[in-house]
A and B are shown apart, each in its own frame.
Chain A
Amino acid sequence: MKTVTNEISKACSVIPGKMALPNQYFAGRVGSRFIISLRDSKKILGVKCPKCKTVYVPPMECCQKDMTKIDENWVELGDTGVLVNYTVVNYRDAHLPRKTPYILGMIQMDGAEATLVHLVEGVDPQNVKIGMRVKVVFAGKTTNTILDIDHFEPIEE
């Protein structure tokens, strides 16, 4: 999208638009329990497939591998994990949650197989390393989303 300024624009009508459609999303029963636990108890819950033993966080209603219903098989996870992948976001845009550059990581929580995508702070993007131990820093204010975890930061060992 560009501002139209050249000669041809004099004969053309271009109007700006902005879609704003207020709506609401339901997190689902499983998602709600996860979010409410995060918000009210600062506890991170996952669900474990009794068949293949995979632990999902964020939780899922069914195991992605074998379609087993797993929504009643909750496990409580700790607040630590390992950074298994990351990117450094270096572009600017209105939908981004932080001033760039910032680190978007994939964290394998201790005791879980599935990884959680989240922000990693407290380390310079040039020094971030796969395999780093990280821990949760909870947010001061709730948003009723995964951002009730404000970010992850390295564990000093």
Chain B
Amino acid sequence: MKRVAICAAAQHEIKSNIWHKRFQDMLMDLLEDVQGQTGFTFGDNGVKNVLTCSDDFFDARTISDNAINDVVGAGNYRGEQKMAQEGLNGIGYAMACILSGHDDVIYFAGHCKESSSASRNQISNMAYDPFYCRCLGLDYLSAAGLQARAYMEKAAVTEEQLAKVVVRARQWASRNEYANEKTQLHPGDVMYSSVLCDPIRTLHAYPVSDGAVALLLASEEKAYEYTDQPIWITGFGNCMDGYDLGTRDLASSNALKKAANQAYKMAGIKQPKKSVNLVEVMDCYAYQQPMWIEGLGLCDEREGGRFIDEYGPAKYNVNLSGGMLAGRPLMIGGLYGAAEAFLQLKGQANEHQASDVNCAVIQSTTGGAGQHQTVVVLER
């Protein structure tokens, strides 16, 4: 099978309120960064097709990609598509463009400024239908509250284990130049932080975050024009669970299991516990880290808590970036994970570099309580 590579990745520094910089300017910085890394150009011998990821509600304008075409190179009669899903799905889309022969190079840029809105919970409330859920105030936070209780009860995950997840995320974030929230915590800080949406506490939730990420993807034939060390996309899968919370098994990440199995199959991975040695999960809330780890098959069902206690995060190099819990914006949390895994596989993650990694798995989610799940496998 033909292969597709990530040739370069650029991450914008994540902050809780980048009000003084337009998202267009953030994207322009990334474009210059990726062009600096690779020397790529737009046109017949370079990028003819661009992919973007953004959200109309966070940008407070419809067809949000219209506002950025000039800073992603699409403004001069080039193709452009927008991924209106979490950005990791764009990697699958870019792969399809390249493997189909339609393109051989894709420039992909995503952005999200959560701080532009008065409340990200108001935005996710709008994701729900107006008759049965929106009027009840349901949003991604309260949907997560319902899932947290269901999962924690099923898997017997404790407050102590969730505190470990958050404390560790902040420790790793302090080594990551792009991470947002680096304040160090003690377990007690987490366990006694105020209740936000029971059983989710304030410090179990990811901070409001602004950021942007860009990647250059290319066919195997073209990749070496841009880099000496391409990172290969060997697996991709995604899967949707039901929209209505009442029809779902909230305590199990069934959609993630299917997405992961698709990605592993494509990558030829038969035993993920043995093959995977770096993981980036989109843990918007602390309970999601063990839950998504179960879904990825890196520990058995109901063993997520034990995974935390028995050094699973260290063994599998889980979220050495700090992950979502250290602050990444919705919509591109998984895309940041891919950029982080790219750096790790190239050995360029500086102070948070893991040793001997060659197979990374990245997971992301969109929708309430992990409704839609995406998994990408990257290898050296």
User: Which of A's residues lie within 8 Å of B, judged by CB?
Assistant: 1-2, 4, 8-9, 12, 14, 17, 19, 25, 27, 31, 35, 56-58, 60, 64, 85-91, 93-98, 104, 106, 114-119, 125, 130, 143-147
Contacts and interface: CB of A to CB of B under 8 A. Distances in A.
Interface stretch (B162-170, B189-197, B217-225, B309-317): B189-197
A145 B130 CA distance: 8
B245 A117 contact: yes
Interface residues of B, number: 44
A95 B139 contact: yes
Given A90-B197, A106-B245, 11 more contacts: A14-B19, A60-B244, A85-B146, A86-B146, A87-B200, A88-B195, A90-B198, A91-B196, A94-B119, A95-B125, A145-B135
Interface stretch (B29-37, B110-118, B292-300, B318-326): B110-118
**What DSSP secondary structure best describes chain B's contact surface?**
mixed
A100 to B, nearest CB: 9
A147 to B, nearest CB: 5
Contacts of B60: 17, 19
22 contacts: A1-B116, A2-B19, A2-B115, A12-B20, A17-B60, A85-B250, A86-B146, A87-B149, A89-B137, A89-B197, A90-B197, A91-B197, A93-B119, A95-B134, A98-B137, A104-B142, A117-B146, A125-B198, A144-B131, A146-B131, A146-B133, A147-B135
Contacts of A143: 135
A87 B198 contact: yes
**What DSSP secondary structure best describes chain A's contact surface?**
loop
A104 B137 contact: yes
Contacts of A35: 131
B145 interface: yes
Interface in B1-54: 17, 19-20
B118 A88 contact: no
Nearest to A88: B198
Contacts of A87: 142, 145-146, 148-149, 197-200
Contacts of B227: none
A157 to B, nearest CB: 23
Given A1-B117, A17-B60, A88-B198, A117 B17 contact: no
Given A35-B131, A145-B135, A114 B142 contact: no
B37 to A, nearest CB: 30
Interface of B: 17, 19-20, 60, 115-119, 121-122, 125, 129-139, 141-142, 145-146, 148-150, 153, 194-200, 242, 244-247, 250
A94 B197 contact: no
A116 B149 contact: no
A8 B198 CA distance: 39
A87 B130 CA distance: 20
Nearest to A56: B247
B136 A147 contact: yes
A125 B113 CA distance: 34
Given A95-B122, A104-B146, A90 B246 contact: no
Nearest to A96: B137
A57 B139 CA distance: 20
A56 B115 CA distance: 38
A3 B150 CA distance: 38
A63 B20 CA distance: 49
Contact of A91 (B118, B121, B135, B148): B121
A91 B115 CA distance: 17
Contact of A119 (B117, B136, B153, B250): B136
A94 B20 CA distance: 26
B20 A86 contact: no
A43 to B, nearest CB: 17
B115 A1 contact: yes
Contacts of B150: 85
B153 to A, nearest CB: 8
A1 B210 CA distance: 11
A64 B247 CA distance: 8
Contact of A106 (B19, B115, B139, B246): B246
A97 B136 contact: yes
Contacts of B134: 95
Nearest to B56: A19
A25 B130 contact: yes
A97 B149 contact: no
